[in-house]
Amino acid sequence: MLILQATAQGPVRIVAFGDSLTAGYGVLERDSYPSKLEAVLREKGYDVTIVNAGVSGDTTAQALARVDWSVPQGTQAVILEFGANDMLRGVPPATIKHNLEAIIQKLRARHIEVMLAGMYATRSLGKEYYTAFDAIYRDLAHKYGLVFMPFFLDGVVGVRSLNQADGMHPTSAGIDIIVKKSLPSVEALIKRVRSRKAS
């Protein structure tokens, strides 16, 4: 019989807050990143609930505008995944950083633990842009001491068999890879929540 860890304390309540990569664009709800991640964590014995607060097409500005109502009271941790849509629109890295930092500050003010999922900019945008963009996530993770996954699409980007026909959104198999790659970071996030509750 599976015994969920620290059940007596209640489940760790996580919100996956992101864009189409979180929402599960082009796949069934059960194949979305939040659904698959919750299933894998429960198989490993973690008592967690993960809410899918992904909205396809969202930019960091749109995320900032909806963070207060997209992350409900009682949330203990957030997986923050934004920036790809900004990058594809050529939004200045300084603006993207400002928006992400404002989101982080709002969440931290509510005593919510944050895991920051990083992105890399396409190299076709030029070295000045992609160097500034890529540094956003590392710099914010360091400044706020966040759990950090350097690249959300690690092992999936550019692999045709793991992406849908548009070449940008992962298939169910691609999402399996993302879940696997993100597990160490998510487990560290859960550990932070449990440590806080125990203190």
Residues labelled as active-site residues: 20, 166, 169
Could you give the CA distance from residue 37 to residue 161 in angstroms, rounded to a whole number? Answer: 21
CA-CA-CA-CA torsion for 160, 165, 166, 168, nearest 10 degrees? -40
Which ranges of 51-150 would DSSP assign to H, the alpha helix?
A: 60-70, 84-88, 93-109, 127-144
DSSP lists the bridge partners of residue 77 as: 14, 113
Could you give the CA distance from residue 172 to residue 33 in angstroms, rounded to a whole number? Answer: 9
Structure tokens at 155: 């092992």
